[in-house]
Amino acid sequence: MGDGAGTGAGAGRPRVFVARVIPEDGLAPVLAACDARVWEDELPPPRADLLRAIEGCDGVLTLLTDRVDDEFLDRAGPQLKVVSNYAVGFDNIDVPACTRRGIPVGNTPGVLTETTADLAWALIMAAARRLPEGDRYVRASRWKTWGPMLLLGPDVYDATLGIVGFGRIGQAVARRAMGFGMTILYHDVSQLPVEVEAAYGATFVPLEELLARSDFVSLHVNLTPETRQLMNAERLGWMKPSAVLVNTSRGPVVDPRALYDALSRGGLFAAALDVTDPEPIPLDDPLLTLDNCLVVPHIASASRATRGKMGAMAAANLLAGLRGERLPTPVNPEVYEGR
Ligand code: DGY
């Protein structure tokens, strides 16, 4: 473990642990204000190192690879004032456990919406038009001539897009779909106000109908007990054999074995995954043997600008929590009730 550059001036400064090197926009303010230790490896801290590193900390800046649960909170100690997650998703954190202890948890909503929607869109296009296969075809010296039947796929324009989870990111995907003249269906826990639907020309339908009618299905739900393996064998079976499934949400939302079955027996045209279960996907995972399954390494928010904004936001949450102020973006605002 490396000691961050700001470790020197300990006295009176809050002790924090930063679980990975994050962009300067986030790291600089933390190092300036805190006695900070930064985990400098590319890989996340192994559990034992993580638990050792957080002992006695006033604040922690975690990533989606770090599990924050009762064991973590016990080891950190009662002085822990804030958990700031460098992600919009927070399924790595036992939020009720933090709330029970009065510890606010911050995340980074909003700043990665457009960048994530861009990647979802890139995956829709790449899977439909078979870009990774085309690239492999060229590099394998198989491109001999223009071929009338070569690498055919479905059109994206004028097709039907089904968006599962119509929050910020789902709506940003819908905005892009409008430019492609798509019919937009969505499903969420509840129907959105008519103004929101009208803004995208989107129609709320039950999940079964969405899956049955859509040419492209893009997943944008949080990972919760209800959405874990949402796309199981039965629901994948409701999709058209010509359809494409895109997942930029969380890996466990899709049952990988059921997806393999669907893709390998022609139950689906293709899948494009930014997230897998587990992560990283093991190299011997059968999904990686399929030409019609595109996998990228959880990079939906990976633009330089967005990662910088996520860093600034995570730092702002951390520093506010250390000062005892309300976090700019708390995921458990109920900790402030009655304060
Ligand atoms: C998140 O923020 O939840 C993404 O998965 C990583 O940017």
Index of the ligand 1 atom closest to the CA of residue 250: 5
List every span in the chain annotated with CATH 3.40.50.720: 15-111+304-336, 113-295
CATH fit for domain 15-111+304-336, picks 3.40.50.720, 3.30.70.1150, 3.30.450.20, 3.50.50.60:
3.40.50.720
195 given a catalytic annotation: no
Instruction: Check whether 1 has a pLDDT greater than 80.
Output: no
What pLDDT is stored for residue 7 in this prediction? 47
- Encode pLDDT of 207-244 as tens digits: 999 999 999 999 999 999 999 999 999 999 999 999 99
Torsion, CA 182, CA 188, CA 193, CA 198, rounded to 10: 0
Radius of gyration of the chain, Cα coordinates, nearest whole angstrom: 22
- Which band of pLDDT confidence, cut at 50, 70 and 90, is reported for residue 31? very high
Cα-Cα-Cα-Cα dihedral of 223, 94, 105, 308, to 10°?
Answer: -50
Structure tokens at 285: 């995972």
Percentage of the chain modeled with pLDDT above 90 = 96
Q: Are strands 202-204 and 105-106 parallel, antiparallel or unpaired?
A: unpaired
Catalytic annotation present for 250: yes
Q: Please state the rounded mean pLDDT for residues 46-57.
A: 98
Q: What is the spatial distance between Cα 199 and Cα 171, in angstroms, rounded to a whole number?
A: 9
Chain centroid to CA 137: how far? 30
pLDDT at residue 5 greater than cutoff 90: no
Residue 23 preceded by cis peptide, ω within 30: no
- Which of 279, 301, 310 to mutate to test ligand 1, by most ligand atoms within 8 A of the CB atom? 301
Output the DSSP codes for 114-129: HHHHHHHHHHHHHHHT
Q: How confident is the model at residue 40 (pLDDT cuts 50, 70, 90)?
A: very high
**pLDDT recorded at residue 194:** 97
Q: How many CA atoms, within 13 angstroms, populate the side-chain half-sphere of residue 100?
A: 8
CA nearest 216: which of 154, 263, 163, 161?
A: 161
Distance CA 82, CA 111 (A): 21
* pLDDT (average), residues 112-125: 98
Terminal-residue alpha carbon distance, the chain: 37
For residue 214 and ligand 1, the question of a CB distance below 6 A is answered with: no
- Say whether pLDDT at 21 is over 90: yes
The pLDDT, as a whole number, for residue 271 is 99
**Residues 97-117: pLDDT tens digits?**
999 999 999 999 999 999 999
Return all residues near 273 (Cβ < 8 A) that are at least 6 apart: 123, 246, 247, 251, 254, 287, 293, 294, 295, 296
pLDDT at 193: 97
Nearest CA-CA partner of 38 in 63, 13, 58, 21: 21
Strand-pair category, 270-273 with 244-247: parallel
Closest Cα to atom 6 of ligand 1: 87
If one compares 3 and 114, the residue with the highest pLDDT of the two is 114
Helix 304-322 to helix 24-33 angle (10° resolution) is 20
Please give the model's pTM, rounded to 2 decimal places.
0.95
The answer, yes or no, to whether any atom of ligand 1 lies below 6 A from the CB of 14, is: no
* pLDDT tens by residue, 308-329: 999 999 999 999 999 999 999 9
Question: For 131-174, how does the pLDDT look when each residue is reduced to its tens digit (9 = 90+)?
Answer: 999 999 999 999 999 999 999 999 999 999 999 999 999 999 99
Per the CB < 8 A criterion, the answer to whether 204 and 197 are in contact is yes
Nearest CA to ligand 1 atom 2: 87
* 220 a catalytic residue: no
Please check the confidence at residue 11 and state whether its pLDDT lies above 70: no
Q: What is the CATH number of domain 113-295?
A: 3.40.50.720
Ligand 1 pocket: which of 22, 64, 118, 275 to mutate (most atoms within 8 A of CB): 64
Mean pLDDT taken over the chain: 96
Measured CA to CA, the distance from residue 48 to residue 85 in angstroms comes to: 19
pLDDT of residue 10: 63
- Cβ count near 82 (within 10 Å): 27
Structure-token pair, residue 194: 């008519």
Q: Taking residues 252-263, report their average pLDDT.
A: 98
Q: How far apart are CA 290 and CA 294, in angstroms?
A: 8
Q: Which residue has the tokens 């359809």?
A: 243
Q: What is the pLDDT of residue 281?
A: 98
Please say whether the beta carbons of 216 and 156 come within 8 A: yes
Q: Report the C-alpha gap between 328 and 318 in whole angstroms.
A: 10
Measured CA to CA in angstroms, residue 153 lies from 133, 149, 177, 215, 240 at distances of 11, 10, 18, 12, 14
